[in-house]
Amino acid sequence: MTGGSQHPSPLHPYSRTVRRALGTVPHYRERYAATGALPPLTRAEAHERRHLLMPLGEAPPARRAPGRPAAERTAELYEALRLAGHRTRGLDVYEVARALRDPVRAHGSTWRVLLAADAPVDPYAEPGARPGSAPEGPALVIGDPGTPGRPDQVRVARIGLADAAGSAPPGGSLWYEPWLGCLGAVPPSCGELHLNTRRVHARLLGGATVLTLLRRRRPTLVHARPEGAERFRPGRCPEHGAPIVRRTS
């Protein structure tokens, strides 16, 4: 007597994302038809072809800039902070940005924006009125290395691959690329650049590490190659056994 019916194993999230991209995104359908492959996507190309990176039927009106839901952005940042070993519950979390966003209450914290020094200033604002200014009390502040803060505030550095190619990123920092978002973090115990595997898949393509964002749909980003990616290779953390990207030299 034979056993029960066999079911095919589910596709890896990376494979599902690539299939969805080929089926619904004009940019990837065009590339695959021309070459039979999906070559790396650079930041400049992503900016120029942003409208073609939207899934068919999901592109916003031409006058509306594509955006990400606040809950998705907050969850991505929260997961990266946990990976980096930071506790957020009970603290206000401030992220340095060039534009204001409405505060979001989630994961036991309020998530706010701290305006960057080079952020545009409203010419009609009253003198001294600057929403998104620095917090007064205990808080967690996320920004580029050297972001100022009070002694009772936790400062979390954001680093990109181009920065990490020059020197080892500090433990507790977040892996952040401006056009891709928060991709992972550096746990203090190992110092390795960990991926947030719920949202990011890394592979080697054309001699450089490329990234596929598993949940991003506006735009869909497959085989994105951040600056500095040619200096890194996917690997496994010797301490945690989790996916990382590691500098080659």
Query: Tell me, what amino acid is at 7?
Result: H
pLDDT of residue 8: 44
pLDDT tens digits for range 168-220: 899 999 999 999 999 999 999 999 999 999 999 999 998 899 999 999 988 99
pLDDT of residue 1: 36
Nearest to 93 by CA among 38, 152, 153: 153
218 contacts 203 by C-beta, under 8 angstroms: no
Q: Which residues of the chain have pLDDT under 50?
A: 1-9, 62-63, 65, 126-129
The full length of the chain comes to 249
Angle, alpha carbons 28-182-141 (nearest 5°): 155
218 contacts 68 by C-beta, under 8 angstroms: yes
pLDDT of residue 2: 38
pLDDT of residue 116: 81
- CA-CA-CA-CA torsion sign (134, 105, 220, 62): negative
Quick check: helix, strand or coil at residue 27? helix
pTM of the predicted protein model: 0.86
| Angle in degrees, 0-180, between the axes of helices 13-24 and 26-35, rounded to the nearest 10 | 90
pLDDT of residue 160: 95
pLDDT of residue 147: 74
Structure tokens at 91: 């603290």
